[in-house]
């Protein structure tokens, strides 16, 4: 019989309702698993053991009283950039190494209201700037499939924990691919919802017009349940869109025959890795067997996506990270000669190399004389990319493409080559630029037995369409059932 830590949220919820186990037993099973494998993976910044057991006891009391919601008693891991009252929220940075927020992010509030159990906070690239979870002040997270490779980033801890069965489900954030890339690299399902569909209140900002919270799970059914919980309007977030969302679980069994998937020539012309090409070809044939049609289409401005992103995102980061000055909270330098020197020393000590690089890029792009040449031009390119997608969706229900240009790469392989690291997100960044929902689905293993995923992208607020397609694919395959041997 499978261990409790190996089961999905839906399987555990069924057992809880039948009183075949308790939330405390499930939580203890996961905490024991964490003790066993976490030292090798380092997916967590903090394991909130005492809080988790208290939440599990409270969940059991709720279950006994009949106050049962779909995810009551189910353990979850949250990324370390979501405010969790009374617990460190560090964003993987020295500058916030001891910051304890006095309030909860809206998604954390919803998790608590549901009666879920927060196991801890997940490791991440510093301030979500990275594609490999190597820039964290707490050290790199390792991919459970091969400890010498990266789990992707920036939500590498959230994805690695779900893959290693040291979290049942988890939350990450996605600014340019930070959910979908780790999902692909770790062999799990990960979704970036439409911008504005999940509240960003209490999510520490990197690039405010691009950041979006989303779920990780081992299968689409769990992901749909978590999506039900986190989606919805929040008056505390001015970018939250006031519109209802469907029950995503009702789309898990809908047939996909007759749907059309668009294949962008610009994406596949860049694809050189044979493992990814093979996985995408096999996934396409499975969809065709299910009655899905494919149509070739063009997204002509995609080639400018990465260039525009690395103007817009660093510009917003430059503005957002100006608040970390050592005055009110966070790290402060001990030795300085003046107020200005204190600012300079604090930021020099507190930020890592990649964060400094992006702050400098953004500050330059916004500076007098360069704003029109860089930021304004990038904003116009963003509009062109958005319009390309709108045109494409007139001929298809969703877009089909790779998630990443390769299987997971080795730790240290790209950390000293920023351009190569940035190109890892070539297939994911345009989706954020247009504010669209995207999902990464496990598509098999490479020749080296490393996970490969494919990506589906839908029109704004059509997450249900992605759930429908991903669930249909997973009924025909067992890729999502594969587990790393730890």
Count CB-CB contacts under 10 A for residue 311: 24
Task: Quote the tokens at residue 391.
Answer: 């045109």
Burial 167-196 (b: 16+ CB within 10 A, else e): bbbbbbbbbbbbbbbbbbbbbbbbbbbbbb
What DSSP string runs through 196-236? TSB--TTBPPSSTTT--EEEEESSHHHHHHHHHHHBS--TT
The conformational region for residue 60 under phi > 0 = left, psi -120 to 50 = alpha, else beta, is alpha
Task: State the number of CA atoms in the 13 A half-sphere of 481 facing the CB.
Answer: 7
In contact, 410 and 149? CB cutoff 8 Å: yes
Does residue 220 have a cis bond before it (omega within 30 degrees)?
no
Catalogue the active-site residues. Answer: 79, 154, 178
| Beta bridge pairs of residue 453 | 442
Greatest alpha-carbon span in the chain: 70
d(C-alpha 366, C-alpha 376), whole Å: 9
361 is written with which tokens? 């890029």
Query: Sign (positive/negative) of CA torsion 278, 280, 282, 285?
Result: negative
Tokens 């992605």 sit on residue: 466
Tell me the helix, strand and coil percentages in the chain, rounded to 5. 45, 15, 45
Using DSSP, state whether 33 is helix, strand or coil: helix
């Amino acid at each position: 019989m499978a261990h409790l830590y190996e089961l999905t949220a839906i399987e555990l919820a069924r057992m809880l309702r039948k009183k075949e186990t308790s939330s405390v037993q499930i939580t203890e099973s996961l905490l024991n698993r964490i003790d066993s494998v976490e030292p090798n993976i380092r997916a967590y910044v903090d394991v909130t053991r005492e809080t988790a057991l208290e939440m599990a006891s409270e969940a059991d009391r709720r279950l006994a009283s009949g106050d049962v919601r779909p995810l009551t008693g189910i353990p979850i891991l949250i990324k370390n950039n979501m405010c969790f009252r009374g617990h460190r929220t560090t964003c993987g940075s020295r500058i916030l190494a001891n910051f304890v927020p006095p309030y909860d992010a809206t998604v954390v509030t919803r998790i608590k209201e549901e009666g879920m159990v927060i196991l801890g906070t997940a490791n991440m690239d510093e301030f979500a700037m990275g594609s490999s979870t190597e820039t964290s002040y707490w050290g790199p997270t390792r991919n459970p499939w091969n400890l010498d490779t990266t789990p992707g980033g920036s939500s590498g801890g959230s994805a690695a924990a779900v893959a290693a069965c040291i979290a049942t489900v988890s939350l990450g954030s996605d600014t340019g691919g930070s959910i979908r890339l780790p999902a692909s690299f770790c062999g799990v399902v990960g979704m970036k919802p439409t911008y504005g569909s999940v509240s960003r209140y209490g999510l520490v900002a990197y690039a405010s017009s691009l950041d979006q919270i989303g779920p990780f799970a081992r299968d689409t059914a769990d992901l749909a349940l978590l999506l039900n919980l986190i989606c919805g309007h929040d008056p505390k977030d001015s970018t939250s869109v006031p519109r209802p969302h469907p029950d995503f679980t009702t789309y898990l069994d809908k047939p996909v025959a007759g749907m059309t998937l668009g294949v962008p020539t610009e994406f596949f012309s860049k694809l050189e890795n044979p493992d990814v090409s093979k996985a995408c070809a096999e996934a396409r044939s499975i969809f065709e067997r299910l009655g899905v049609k494919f149509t070739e289409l063009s997204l002509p401005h995609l080639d400018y996506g990465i260039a525009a992103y690395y103007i817009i995102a660093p510009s917003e980061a430059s503005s957002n990270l100006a608040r970390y000055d050592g005055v009110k909270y966070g790290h402060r330098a001990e030795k300085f000669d003046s107020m200005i020197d204190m600012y300079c020393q604090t930021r020099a000590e507190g930020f890592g190399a990649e964060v400094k690089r992006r702050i400098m890029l953004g500050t330059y792009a916004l500076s007098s004389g360069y704003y029109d040449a860089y930021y304004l031009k990038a904003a116009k390119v963003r509009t062109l990319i958005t319009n390309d997608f709108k045109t494409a969706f007139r001929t298809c229900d969703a877009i089909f493409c790779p998630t990443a240009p390769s299987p997971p790469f080795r730790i240290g392989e790209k950390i000293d080559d920023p351009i190569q690291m940035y190109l890892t997100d070539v297939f994911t960044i345009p989706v954020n630029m247009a504010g669209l929902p995207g999902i990464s689905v496990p598509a098999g293993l490479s020749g080296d037995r490393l996970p490969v995923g494919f990506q589906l992208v839908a029109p704004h607020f059509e997450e249900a369409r992605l759930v429908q397609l991903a669930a249909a694919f997973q009924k025909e395959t067992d890729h999502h059932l594969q587990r790393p041997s730890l």
